Structure 1
């Protein structure tokens, strides 16, 4: 069985010192490609170094909603994306109002997401989008830009309403290891409404380890557990799931180029 981890954080401070071991363990269980990202400037050079060292690693550059910044920073990011052949997306970006953000901070998040969507449209790159406690605002952004951008909504955890909009606008979606938790019945019902043609697989490692690894640091090797779990929920063979999601990931991010 071959797998692609469509969203992981291999330059995270918890992972970077042992990244050789982490990639090795993943490859031994069949994970053959990785899309990794960092939320801001501090990690971008590390992403470039990692992608140069490992042919199977692809990267995304973006400003995470929790890394508040200014418009001028996008100029540097655009240049970096253009001159990095293995940069396959802008991400991760999005909206995160989980901690009751002040109005001013929310406005900065909304502005930066809009600017990064416009950049993605300009340079024809997909986005990797994170949404938490900001569903109505995300829907408003989607109304503004219609279907002019392509996005992977990763680690989906919002409502069926937003999921339906994601699917109707032909975006991609994935669920993290938390879909395996006993408390995640709502997520398990939602994934059944996602056509295989719109589904990707991810770990979001080093976060959200799936059962039976919950409580330990997550890593791409654990994608095997999530894949088997999702296949059981969808009542299909895991080989069918991985074949389709691999094809989706390669096509959406242009990994064959």
Structure 2
């Protein structure tokens, strides 16, 4: 069984066929999906949880979990009401993670100081609720400025919690991966690791220990190489898993078993998958 550790199931791009898309996921051998609760801003954080509750238990569906968080470029909206909403969502049993949260200096958006302040407030809430975090980080063009700022924040406000988390859709170099691993994070690779020009990313993936690895789609974005440019969906995480298996010289079954075990361990879901 594979687990898609990061998919935006509340995307309007699934508005007409969400149930069919989820059944295709199960048919492909993807037994669980983490539905990311950021929406288009704090006012939509709850939508991932709503989808979990709508589809969990229905025949032919994967097991769905949810996250909740305020995306870097929405952090100017992280007022007291938004933080209170985040806190209440993280108290729900299906909401197993806070995220995706972090820093994004690549796209035009929120001021960098607002992003850092919003990240710190969310780390405090996640720590109090004992929820691992899902980190989004992109630097300015080819620089590591966002990553350097991120690690300063995590060193100060997160490392001591021991809760760890996921470096989602990892796209940096080995130095950043190594620093994340040292903090107890898992490294998650998405469909972009399959792209022809992503050899450097595949080289990083080859060095990440099997017991620290996750796979994801970031659906509906980043469809894998053979389907690049089309709408992505959780069933297609099998392409990422196969690429990682080839790069690491192991079977696809071993990647599936390892990444599933890693997900279960991080989010303390042993009873769910017993």
Task: Please name the residue that 2:43 is paired with.
Answer: 42
Rounded Cα–Cα distance in structure 1 between residues aligned with 2:89 and 2:242: 37
Task: Please name the residue that 2:123 is paired with.
Answer: 117
How far residue 81 of structure 1 moved from its aligned partner, in angstroms, is: 2.0
Rounded Cα–Cα distance in structure 2 between residues aligned with 1:100 and 1:15: 26
Rounded Cα–Cα distance in structure 1 between residues aligned with 2:208 and 2:193: 14
Rounded Cα–Cα distance in structure 2 between residues aligned with 1:17 and 1:108: 36
Rounded Cα–Cα distance in structure 2 between residues aligned with 1:42 and 1:24: 28
**Aligned: 1:74 with 2:87:** no
How far residue 219 of structure 1 moved from its aligned partner, in angstroms, is: 0.5
Rounded Cα–Cα distance in structure 1 between residues aligned with 2:192 and 2:16: 25
How far residue 94 of structure 1 moved from its aligned partner, in angstroms, is: 0.7
Q: Secondary structure at the match of 2:214?
A: coil
**Aligned: 1:206 with 2:220:** yes
Task: Please name the residue that 1:63 is paired with.
Answer: 70
How far residue 44 of structure 1 moved from its aligned partner, in angstroms, is: 3.0
**Aligned: 1:227 with 2:234:** no
How far residue 70 of structure 1 moved from its aligned partner, in angstroms, is: 2.8
Identify which of 140, 146, 163 aligns with 2:152.
140
Superposed CA RMSD in Å reads 1.5
Q: Does the CA-based 8 Å contact 1:11-1:43 persist in structure 2?
A: no
Q: Secondary structure at the match of 2:3?
A: strand
Task: Please name the residue that 2:13 is paired with.
Answer: 14
Q: Output the TM-score relative to the length of structure 2.
A: 0.88
Runs of 5+ in structure 2 lacking a partner? 57-62, 140-145
Q: Secondary structure at the match of 2:215?
A: coil
Runs of 5+ in structure 1 lacking a partner? none
Task: Please name the residue that 1:185 is paired with.
Answer: 199
How far residue 37 of structure 1 moved from its aligned partner, in angstroms, is: 1.1
How far residue 226 of structure 1 moved from its aligned partner, in angstroms, is: 1.1
Rounded Cα–Cα distance in structure 2 between residues aligned with 1:122 and 1:215: 40
Rounded Cα–Cα distance in structure 2 between residues aligned with 1:147 and 1:202: 27
How far residue 150 of structure 1 moved from its aligned partner, in angstroms, is: 1.4
**Aligned: 1:85 with 2:85:** no
Judge which range, 125-134 or 51-60, deviates more. 51-60
Moved over 6 A (4+): none
Q: Does the CA-based 8 Å contact 1:10-1:16 persist in structure 2?
A: no
Rounded Cα–Cα distance in structure 2 between residues aligned with 1:213 and 1:99: 25
Q: Output the TM-score relative to the length of structure 1.
A: 0.94
Change beyond 3 A, Cα 1:74–1:132? same
How far residue 161 of structure 1 moved from its aligned partner, in angstroms, is: 1.7
Rounded Cα–Cα distance in structure 2 between residues aligned with 1:17 and 1:47: 16
Rounded Cα–Cα distance in structure 1 between residues aligned with 2:227 and 2:160: 38
